[in-house]
């Protein structure tokens, strides 16, 4: 059975479990419907099991009581009365129990949410992150076991509708596919579900330079940098951003200066920099023209602008220094 079909079947089984509740109300109701007057105690025991309570009345009749509950907080109360060791009457009544009275007839299996509950102003519990990481590894393994790319993509698209991914996780999924068209289809599904979209520009590395990379950039620019669940403006939580050193290394891996500049421009849309970090970026370039393009991209994203004057000396010619001052707002 293919993994997608296996997951669909598992979902059906879960729904059936919730509605019939093995050993719970649904299954018990079907058994109660089989009770008939005149049945022996042995037959009732074989059908319903041992009773929860037994009582004997003054007239010699004996009453057995059964209670069934399930994870939907339904309760079924059954009483069976015997006269001369045979069923003389029986009764059943179903109700919804209050949460504090709920007693399950079987183990309750928790169903985890794919998205952890946001903690305003903080980071998620490390245990939650570890659990999510394990869950992703299981999902990733299932994807890899699917033999055909078309089914792999369909499986990922279905899961993406109800899950969030880090950029690292998205990059691992995209890297499973060889062709740009396949990767673009996958990026369409994953881009709106990136919980740390401010690092999404890193995904451009997986697309061929030219039209494919341009389309990938357009896809990423259409979506917000952080889903609402993780946006601090709405009480969400944001995971730590990648370190500047990782970003700098990624810039250095770009072959041509124009690619490095475009990479920095993409990153500057969602990140801020210190003057010291901007200086390190400028030093990657030889010519003032390229340095000015970088400065244009990051000038409004500098956190400690009061130190911006230190960047002027990184330009060789007076004309470039004057232009740098204008970009930084140090002169009119």
Q: What is the pLDDT of residue 116?
A: 39
Contact 164, 115 (CB under 8 A): yes
Percent with pLDDT over 90 in the chain: 29
| Dihedral of alpha carbons 34, 39, 45, 51, sign | positive
Nearest to 66 by CA among 17, 102, 107, 32: 32
Average pLDDT over residues 154-174: 86
Residue 113 clears pLDDT 80, i.e. is over it? no
Percent with pLDDT over 70 in the chain: 73
Residue 231 clears pLDDT 90, i.e. is over it? no
Q: What is the pLDDT of residue 278?
A: 93
Q: Which residue has the higher pLDDT, 117 or 275?
A: 275
Q: Which residue has the higher pLDDT, 244 or 184?
A: 184
99-135: b or e for each residue (b if 16 or more CB lie within 10 Å)? Answer: eeebeebeeeeeeeeeebebeeeeebeeeeeeebeee
| Lowest-pLDDT range of 76-80, 131-135, 322-326 | 131-135
Average pLDDT over residues 271-296: 92
pLDDT tens digit sequence for 28-66 = 777 888 888 888 888 888 888 888 888 888 888 999 998
Q: What is the pLDDT of residue 290?
A: 96
Q: Which two tokens stand for residue 57?
A: 């009345």
Q: Which residue has the higher pLDDT, 256 or 93?
A: 256
Domain ranges of the chain: 3-101, 126-238, 243-332
Residue 16 clears pLDDT 70, i.e. is over it? no
Residue 110 clears pLDDT 50, i.e. is over it? no
Helices then strands, each counted (H, E), the chain: 13, 4
Strand, helix or coil for residue 25: helix
Residue 269 clears pLDDT 60, i.e. is over it? yes
Highest mean pLDDT among 76-85, 118-127, 242-251: 76-85
Q: What is the pLDDT of residue 140?
A: 92
Q: What angle do CA 67, 69, 70 make, to 5 degrees?
A: 160
The answer regarding whether domain 3-101 maps to CATH 3.30.1450.10 reads: yes
| Dihedral of alpha carbons 230, 231, 233, 238, sign | positive
Q: What is the pLDDT of residue 289?
A: 95
Average pLDDT over residues 174-185: 95
The mean predicted confidence, pLDDT, of the chain is 77
Contact 176, 208 (CB under 8 A): no
Residue 237 clears pLDDT 80, i.e. is over it? no
Average pLDDT over residues 225-231: 55
Please compute, for residue 95, the number of CA atoms within 13 A of its CA located in the half-sphere on the CB side: 10
Asked whether the whole model's pTM tops 0.85, one would answer: no
- The 8-class DSSP code of residue 194 comes to B
Residue 227 clears pLDDT 50, i.e. is over it? yes
| Lowest-pLDDT range of 34-43, 74-83, 230-239, 283-292 | 230-239
């Amino acid at each position: 059975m293919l993994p997608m079909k296996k997951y669909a079947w598992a979902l059906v089984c879960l729904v059936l479990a919730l509605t019939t509740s093995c050993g719970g109300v649904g299954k018990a109701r079907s058994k109660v419907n089989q009770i008939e007057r005149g049945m022996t105690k042995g037959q009732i025991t074989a059908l319903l099991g041992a009773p929860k309570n037994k009582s004997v009345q003054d007239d010699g009749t004996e009453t057995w009581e059964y209670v069934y509950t399930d994870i939907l907080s339904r309760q079924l109360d059954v009483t069976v009365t015997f006269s001369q060791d045979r069923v003389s009457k029986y009764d059943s009544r179903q109700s919804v129990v209050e949460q504090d009275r709920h007693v399950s007839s079987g183990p309750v299996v928790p169903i985890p949410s794919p998205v952890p509950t946001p903690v305003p102003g903080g980071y998620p519990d490390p245990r939650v992150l570890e659990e999510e990481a394990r869950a992703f590894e299981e999902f990733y393994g299932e994807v890899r076991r699917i033999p055909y790319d078309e089914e792999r993509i369909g499986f990922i698209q279905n899961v993406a509708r109800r899950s969030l991914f880090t950029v690292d996780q998205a990059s691992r999924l995209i890297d499973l596919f060889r062709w740009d068209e396949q990767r673009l289809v996958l990026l369409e599904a994953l881009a709106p579900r990136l919980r740390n979209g401010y690092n999404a520009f890193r995904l451009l590395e997986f697309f061929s330079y030219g039209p494919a990379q341009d389309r990938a950039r357009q896809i990423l620019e259409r979506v917000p940098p952080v889903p609402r669940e993780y946006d601090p403006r709405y009480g969400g939580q944001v995971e730590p951003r990648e370190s500047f050193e990782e970003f700098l290394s990624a810039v250095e891996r770009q072959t041509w200066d124009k690619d490095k500049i475009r990479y920095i421009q993409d990153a500057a849309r969602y990140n801020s920099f210190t003057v010291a970090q901007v200086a390190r970026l400028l030093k990657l370039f030889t010519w003032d023209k390229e340095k000015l393009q970088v400065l244009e991209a990051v000038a409004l994203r500098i956190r400690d602008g009061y130190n911006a004057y230190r960047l002027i000396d990184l330009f060789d010619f007076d004309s470039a220094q004057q232009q740098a001052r204008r970009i930084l707002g140090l002169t009119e």
